[in-house]
Chain A
């Protein structure tokens, strides 16, 4: 089948996550993309795809791109751009396909700060006369949007270029989730219920994309906190479920609850439930298939790591016999079970083990893990013999970093490396509080 060229316009942020997002979304929608021309330094990539639907499927959910266009041409000046458009092998076909459609022109730019006045734009639009568009101009909901993208070379970090170095021209196929306003919609500042551990909108949506959260499938967050990842998963259509050993966070305050966030976003149908539960004493039935696990485990900074059980078992010996008004105390509604400290390494081992048992083959586990940057010690990534480590995307802060680890369940035959039981994360908490000195 003849393939067509498309122009992908990306954003130059979170570059350690961008390719992972694009690959994951292509894989999720069965779109075959050749990434050989991908460059981390450029916001542009020209790709060939089978048709517009593929382009649209691939980019609709994307957070680290702006849009994808049917590629019509490019040049270093407008003159060379016009030549390039008219020399495009599909030019006559593209022209006749759009002849009667309503349309408008849009202008996008990268790296420049030159403000264009309206008359310059009108002149530019008029220079495309040879397209012979006969349809009506519609500023609202036109059939087609023709886009001119100017790429500038910034003079310095804060000063944009004045004259474009390159100009692209294309027909808009699909705006990304970002360009359609997802970051504004899920901005934490506007979220009714949030807390100190809430995860920012942009990277939580990116995480859900790399984890391949699917519409009408189940997503589970075992360390749900205030539900940031549930929101991201719900946005992409999953039925989301969360648990946390700390009931205070998931209860919320009065009208401010995780459930209320879903109502606020008009996505109530995506929200299944949150429950107070110790992930290591799991109450989800074993044959219940969880398609995706996405979470930010507690790592001891804002929240301590605890599981059920007595820290000092002797002190609790015989307590199961305590009665209040003739009723076993531990069976009362307001009984609060004791908890004991647990290590992050053990918790992550448990998480990988759980994922290997519950995810379907090819299902993904994605979670965030912090690491200190201060020592000349290689970071050890947890590994499980059934899980393929697919991505390790680092977000660098000054003295520490966090990384999104993404695993694919390959089943028993995979026989990959396993480092369960190894001390990996060290005393991240102690080093955090001592300023990594």
Chain B
């Protein structure tokens, strides 16, 4: 599961939708096995469009869960003509959002504390009957 996907996943328990704690899920660093997939090519235009969709606070929060506390508090903004400096930032974001994979790990809802697993890079968001 790509780091980027952590930005789209909330808890599947319907009752947690009434809480603002159900997104993002909490990732426990010790339980998460990360892998870099360097074969995915860097495409700044594509990435810019994707960054538009990203909830930056959640990026910062999950990155910090996983041990990266270097991110700026506010979403970087880019002018139409990308400078060299922009490209450096975009490359870093490509490495983080697109190339970083959580291969094995756990995600926990901060509201109901249900634990979801990531196995072989695939997150499993199914629920037991008493939570469904």
Contact = CB atoms under 8 A, between A and B. Distances in A.
A272 B4 contact: yes
B53 A308 contact: no
B129 A309 contact: yes
A240 to B, nearest CB: 12
A319 B123 contact: no
A337 B70 CA distance: 38
Nearest to A276: B124
- Chain A contact residues: over half helix, strand or loop, or mixed? mixed
A337 B17 contact: no
B14 A288 contact: no
Contacts of A137: none
Contact of A308 (B2, B39, B126): B126
Contacts of B132: 278, 281, 307-309, 337
Contacts of A308: 126-127, 129, 132
A285 B122 contact: no
Interface in A147-185: none
A262 to B, nearest CB: 10
Interface stretch (A6-14, A244-252, A425-433): A244-252
Contacts of A319: 128-130
B119 interface: yes
A245 B9 contact: no
Contact of B12 (A215, A278, A289, A320): A278
B130 A288 contact: no
A403 to B, nearest CB: 30
A223 to B, nearest CB: 15
B115 interface: yes
5 contacts: A275-B9, A278-B12, A281-B125, A281-B132, A316-B130
Interface string B79-108: 000000000000000000010000000000
B59 interface: no
Nearest to B106: A333
A313 to B, nearest CB: 7
Interface of A: 215-218, 239, 241, 243, 245, 247, 250-251, 259, 263, 268-269, 272-278, 281-289, 307-310, 313, 316, 319-320, 330-331, 333, 335, 337-338
B49 A217 contact: yes
Nearest to B41: A269
A287 B55 CA distance: 10
Contacts of B74: none
Nearest to A308: B132
Contact of B125 (A283, A287, A320): A283
A275 B123 contact: yes
A278 B128 contact: no
Contacts, number: 119
Contacts of B127: 278, 281, 308, 337
Nearest to A278: B126
A201 to B, nearest CB: 24
B46 A273 contact: no
Contacts of A269: 40-41, 43, 46, 98
A284 B10 contact: yes
B126 A284 contact: no
A353 to B, nearest CB: 14
B10 A285 contact: yes
B117 interface: yes
A193 to B, nearest CB: 14
A350 to B, nearest CB: 13
A307 B14 CA distance: 14
Contact of A273 (B1, B17, B120, B124): B1
B125 to A, nearest CB: 4
A239 B50 CA distance: 8
Of the candidates A285, A307, A331, A335, the one having the most CB atoms from chain B within 10 angstroms of its own CB is: A285
A368 B80 CA distance: 40
A241 B125 CA distance: 14
A337 B119 contact: no
Contacts of A259: 121
Given A284-B9, A310-B129, 7 more contacts: A216-B49, A281-B12, A281-B14, A283-B10, A287-B55, A308-B129, A309-B132
Contacts of B41: 268-269
Given A216-B45, A268-B40, A316-B129, A283 B122 contact: no
Interface string B21-48: 0010000000000000101110101100
Nearest to B114: A331
B12 A277 contact: yes
Of the candidates A268, A269, A287, A333, the one having the most CB atoms from chain B within 10 angstroms of its own CB is: A269
Contacts of B129: 308-310, 313, 316, 319, 337-338
A276 B46 CA distance: 26
A259 B37 CA distance: 12
B5 interface: yes
Of the candidates B2, B8, B43, B117, the one having the most CB atoms from chain A within 10 angstroms of its own CB is: B8
A59 to B, nearest CB: 23
